[in-house]
Amino acid sequence: MNYQEFLESKQYSHKSFGKDCTVNDIHPMLFDFQKDITAWAVKKGCAAIFLDTGLGKTFVQLEWLRIISDGESLIVAPLSVARQTAKMAKDIDLEVRYVRNQSEISGNGIYITNYEMVDHFDPGIFDAVVLDESSILKSMAGKTRKKLIEMFRDTPHKLACTATPSPNDQIELGNHAEFLNVCTTNEMLAMFFIHANIQHEDIIYGVKRRTKQPGKQGQEWRIKNHGRKAFYRWMSSWAISMKKPSDLGYDDKGFDLPPLNIEPRFVTVEVTTKGSLFFMGLKGVGNRAQVRKSTLNARLEKCRELLLNSDEQWIVWCGLDAESHAIKKLSDDIVEVCGKDTPEFKAKAFEDFQDGKFRILAIKPRIGGFGMNFQNAHNMIFFGLNDSFEQYYQCIRREYRFGQTHPVNVYVILSTVEQEILNNVKRKERMAEELHNELIVEGREYERSELKGEKMIIEDVGSSVIEGQNFKVINGDSCVELPKLQDNSVDLSVYSPPFADLYTYTALTNDLGNSRGWDEFFDHYSFIIKEILRVTKTGRISCVHTSDIPAMDIKDGYIGIRDFPGRVIAAHEKEGWIFHGRAIVTKNPQAQAIRTHSKGLLFAQLKKDSTDSRPCLLDHILIFKKEGQAEEKVSPVNNGEIDNERWINWAGGIWTDIRESDVLRYQYARQGDDEKHICPLQLGTIERCIKLYSNPGDMILTPFLGIGSEAYQALKFGRDAIGIELKKTYFDIAVQNLNGIENYDQQSLFTEAS
């Protein structure tokens, strides 16, 4: 595999393993965008369809099943949706049978059941499954989520469909990816997210907020700044998101929404907090329910005014049984649907309401708020409200959907003390809208390419060269630039490779650090190791700075230490280097504890349970030698810069006198998107490598130039330097540092001569 092919293999994408399909294979009733999405999903084999309400995800999933399945296939849907789907299938000449258990399966075909019945089926008989309203996967610890993922783990073809406005919760996204066998939730978090401090007001894609007060900080998952494009590219390889056809370049004709009128109506009621003379504010779920019950009668009067002064159809969304019972008593033309009702009663009530056989439907959001098409009505009341934006949004979209011809009127009936609930929902609404818009903007290019079957082109990083009197530095990819150097032209290489830390400093696929795991990292690193061997003179040395790396539960499945130096040694030996030795640079454990927040280094952990305490992480300078025939060896390094006493100190192999602060200035090297400060190698460590293994006038190479520390020291001690750096901002600072040291030396010489 050449380097370009390797970079293509590094692209974060979900491979296709479905069937070949064209739009001509799809029912002509579907719109162009629906046909393209269906064909794409058929080719993928496993995919997610995030289409907003009224965009036809039911037709997409039905056609997907018809084409991809050669046997029995199953749709799992909310009870309220299952019968509606079976009815809609007839519009595209399909038969979908509603079933409750395995015994009702009789031969090839499309079957549909509800989530409550899914335990009654053997998943092994189905070659394709659809999760309709797949936002049920949202709960990280939910039994239903775990059951569905495990139950259909081996199903060959899977489709997850939801009309949720945007998959703006990283856990929900991860659960979708895990259901579809793309990756686990933890793998997704490890690749693209970081656990970091955020402010409550921050709007960052993928952050699930748990902070309770504005201005307070909390530890939350957020997408890595440099990982954004890779994340959207990866997500677009298995999911399509659309709120309207024009999001992905299609015509919006026929998909215009009418006006939406949302009107809060507040009632003033005296409310007291239990155990207090005054109302102390809403405290939690229990307190909210208590307030909702105590204000029911006052809110009911507002509902009465709206419902009985109209002859149009209405939906009343109720959160409590007491609310729907009270609504039912207002008129004989009201049907109440409760959780205890039979599936047959619920289905009949929905169909009768859709057919206009009664005027008012009183129902809870969890029963009828997802998937149903109630465009026959255009008025609704929220008889109270909870803090769930998803429920609020989905309930509104039962009427306010593409195809609705009337303005939709939404009335939210609350007591004045519940104003903060509405404010909270509105805040989440604004956040979801911004997040979705960002998703569309960032992901549009990738999703269009997916729909067209186009291959994503890897960004060409290019290269530029700047030369000084004794140095040459290249802004480019080391795997591309090293092959341009002559054989046996380098006397010594000194460098610190990235430590496989994803999207810390750049978003580029060429970045060695942007590797999904150690295997991919070392596959990438091998291109550099073998090229450094080629350009190094026979018998000469390469010094590589490494360190052990903490193993994290979210990334590695356990908490401990990973032997990064050991893998680096093995990688060099595989390419023909000889492992020649190792020097250890000691560290200050207290300084490291403050910087890394590792509990293993804390005094408190020592007293609490020292089995979780560990030594601090030390620097390992690994020394490799290019061996060859005796006659091929170049002139020896006749070391005149190190006396015997210093040699004894350095040869001990434990370097205790390297100052951690002895580095080039790097504060201005960090960009706003960088997740970590750059960590230059200590100048004292570099000095020892250069003086031990090179002569004045030798050529020193660093394939990871950074801000120029190794090249700087090479020039300082009378050597020449060549360096390569991928990141432009670091490269620019390195040039400043190298020009600075050369100008300083020239000024010193001029002063001495004068």
Q: What angle do CA 652, 498, 465 make, to 5 degrees?
A: 105
Confidence of residue 80 (pLDDT cuts 50, 70, 90): confident
Is there a domain that residue 510 lies in? yes
397 and 290 within one domain: yes
pLDDT grade for 418, boundaries at 50, 70 and 90: confident
Residue 11 lies in a domain: no
How many domains in the chain? Answer: 4
pLDDT reported for residue 241: 86
Do 370 and 265 fall within a single domain?
Answer: yes
pTM over 0.85: no
Least confident of 242-256, 412-426, 667-681: 667-681
Higher-confidence position of 59 and 459: 59
Mean pLDDT value of segment 312-328: 94
Last residue of a domain, one of 192, 222, 254: 254
Last residue of a domain, one of 430, 450, 472: 430
Write phi, then psi, for 93 (nearest 5 degrees).
65, 35
For residues 161 and 190, membership in a common domain is answered with no
* pLDDT classification of 674: cutoffs 50, 70, 90: low
pLDDT at residue 751 in the model: 44
Contact 583, 558 (CB under 8 A): no
Using the 3D structure, point to which of 174, 202, 237 is the last residue of a domain.
237
Give the list of residues 6+ apart from residue 70 with CB closer than 8 angstroms, or none: 108, 127
pLDDT at 220: 66
Do 153 and 177 have their domain in common? yes
Task: Give the three-class secondary structure for 357.
Answer: coil
532, 542 Cβ separation under 8 angstroms: yes
320, 366 Cβ separation under 8 angstroms? no
Structure tokens at 11: 């692209």
Q: What is the pLDDT of residue 197?
A: 54
- The pLDDT score that the predictor gives to residue 672 is 56
Q: How confident is the model at residue 421 (pLDDT cuts 50, 70, 90)?
A: confident
pLDDT at 214 over 70: no
Residue 289: CB atoms within 10 A of its CB come to 14
Residue 365 inside a domain? The answer is: yes
Name every residue whose Cβ is closer than 8 Å to that of residue 128 and which is 6 or more positions away in sequence: 64, 65, 68, 69, 73, 74, 155, 156, 157, 158, 159
153 and 277 co-located in one domain: no
- The confidence score (pLDDT) of residue 169 equals 65
H or E element: which one contains 608? Answer: helix 603-608
Q: Is there a domain that residue 749 lies in?
A: yes
Instruction: Please report the pLDDT score of residue 186 as a whole number.
Output: 81
Average pLDDT, integer, range 478-483: 96
Whether 610 is in a domain gets the answer: no
Q: Does some domain include residue 67?
A: yes
Same domain, 528 and 664: yes
Do residues 503 and 647 both lie within one domain?
A: yes
pLDDT surpassing 60 at residue 748: no
Task: Determine the pLDDT at residue 338.
Answer: 92
- Classify residue 570: in a domain, yes or no: yes
In DSSP notation, 395-434 reads HHHTTSSTT--S-EEEEEEEEGGGHHHHHHHHHHHHHHHH
Residue 754 predicted with pLDDT over 70: no
Based on the fold, state whether residues 274 and 314 are members of the same structural domain.
yes
The arithmetic mean of pLDDT across residues 510-519, rounded, is 88
Question: Is there a single domain that holds both residue 353 and residue 423?
Answer: yes
> Does residue 706 share a domain with residue 656?
yes
Sign of the torsion formed by the C-alpha atoms of 325, 327, 329 and 332: negative
Instruction: Identify the CA nearest to 495 among candidates 653, 677, 721, 657.
Output: 721
Same domain, 541 and 406: no
Domain of residue 355, residue span: 260-430
DSSP for 172-234?
HHHHHHHHTTS--HHHHHHHHEEEEEEETT---TT------STT-EEEEEEE-GGGHHHHHHH
**607 vs 93: which has the higher pLDDT:** 93
Q: Residue 653 belongs to a domain with what CATH number?
A: 3.40.50.150
CA distance 573 to 189: 33
Max Cα distance, the chain (Å): 109
Q: Which of 54-68, 93-107, 278-292 has the weakest average pLDDT?
A: 278-292
Cα–Cα distance for residue pair 364/520, rounded to 1 Å: 50
Q: What is the amino acid identity at position 79?
A: L
Q: Which two tokens stand for residue 701?
A: 């190479």
What are the pLDDT digits (tens) for 114-130? 888 999 999 999 999 99
Q: What is the pLDDT of residues 47-66, one digit of tens each?
A: 999 888 889 999 999 999 99
Distances (CA, A) of 510 to 8, 223, 557: 10, 20, 27
Is there a single domain that holds both residue 531 and residue 647?
A: yes
pLDDT digits (tens, 9 = 90+) for 155-212: 999 999 987 644 446 777 888 999 999 988 888 888 888 766 544 333 333 333 333 3
411 in a structural domain:
yes
User: Domain with 103 in it: what CATH number?
Assistant: 3.40.50.300
